[in-house]
């Protein structure tokens, strides 16, 4: 494998880590906005959920709807938390706080 190949793999891995981090941040922000989770406990819960989702994906324990480009887990507890109506701005603001607070985890 040449230097360009290694760089391409490293870039893809970094992009994957960033995407997972964003998923965790958004899930944690929803948990903070909709429950009594502290920012720290919501972040940990979102990380745990993300890990469980990745394990389910690795085991093939999900289905995909190609028409709507969505994925559903066989275990419904692995589905993310929806943003309630009227909470989008609050979730967005909390997500920004969490992103800054936990950016070293990226």
Residue position matching structure tokens 């469980």: 52
* Mean pLDDT confidence for 15-30: 96
Q: Answer yes or no: are the C-beta atoms of 72 and 60 closer than 8 Å.
A: no
- Using the predicted structure, report yes or no on whether residue 25 has a pLDDT greater than 80: yes
pLDDT value of position 3:
62
57-90: pLDDT as tens digits: 999 999 999 999 899 999 999 999 999 999 999 9
Q: Locate tokens 């480009």: which residue?
A: 69
Pairing of strands 70-73, 62-65: antiparallel
The secondary structure of 45-83 as a DSSP string is HHHHHHHHHHHHHHHT-EEEETTTTEEEESSGGGSPPPP
Q: Is the dihedral of CA 24, 27, 30, 36 positive or negative?
A: negative
> Can you give the pTM of this predicted structure?
0.87
Question: For residues 46 and 100, what is the distance between their CA atoms, to the nearest angstrom?
Answer: 16
For residue 34, the model assigns a pLDDT of 95
């Amino acid at each position: 494998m040449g230097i360009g190949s290694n760089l391409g793999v490293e870039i893809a891995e970094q992009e994957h880590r960033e995407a997972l981090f964003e998923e965790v941040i958004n899930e944690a922000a929803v948990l903070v906005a909709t429950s009594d989770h502290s920012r720290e406990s919501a972040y940990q819960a979102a990380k745990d959920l993300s890990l469980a989702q990745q394990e389910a994906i690795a085991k093939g324990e999900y289905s995909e709807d190609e028409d709507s480009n969505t994925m559903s887990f066989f275990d419904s507890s692995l589905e993310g938390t929806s943003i309630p109506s009227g909470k989008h701005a609050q979730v967005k603001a909390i997500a920004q706080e969490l992103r800054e607070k936990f950016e070293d985890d990226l």
